[in-house]
Structure 1
């Protein structure tokens, strides 16, 4: 007696764009033709056609303008801080979380910034989540010096020969 092998199907995931292409083809040429053309099951194509109206609604809700995350409370002051960080890096100085926070406090005390954000000096907390969000907004990362080179003495060849 021979045993009949059960066909094992492999689960395939389809992107929303791929599904929309199949649905559009099915609406123009029919469900069976779409299933045959894209080598899919007819019931699956039918489910996709039914679900396609809700996909469009979900897509409209998902689209947001701008970058994800919380908006800056002090955008003008953060621009000053960003410029300060770039200057420090050009000079070869290390910039860490503490120095960034202290500099932001100094910036918020300046008269120009005080005019924009009168209570900013007192409300600013400068916690770790603010620093991380700030760095994400401006595409920064904390850098670490990986190589500190030493200058070799001028009479290196003579010392090598003596050694």
Structure 2
């Protein structure tokens, strides 16, 4: 028996095959589009049709693991976004500490908050670890008279760094 490479199919193709299979039958769809896809694959896709229609059409389906604590991760993503929008750099340790605090608050007992969880969470959420983001509005936390924004901030200027000390200097490519 020859070894064949496993193929991956995008959602629009699967939905097209399912539509054809509904009109003409699974075996006719197999003859028309494949093999592969095989009749068994088409049967599985027909079972998953509702889920397929809800998913992002540009992706392959059901890739990666779902979050074990989705509400915790939604809260963490909101927390990270809020802090980055204010111009703060957010480290892995800060993320883990805040996640543990939220887990205790929500009564989640089995959450450990390991660095590998943090990495997977950031990847699932589409967030970058090394993100030093300057605010688009003036940072009023350290000085109510501050008028420095991302467009006017100069990392090399001593006046800018002295006036608004909480803005991240390292990692900013202005």
TM-score, L = length of structure 1: 0.48
Structure whose CA Rg is larger: 1
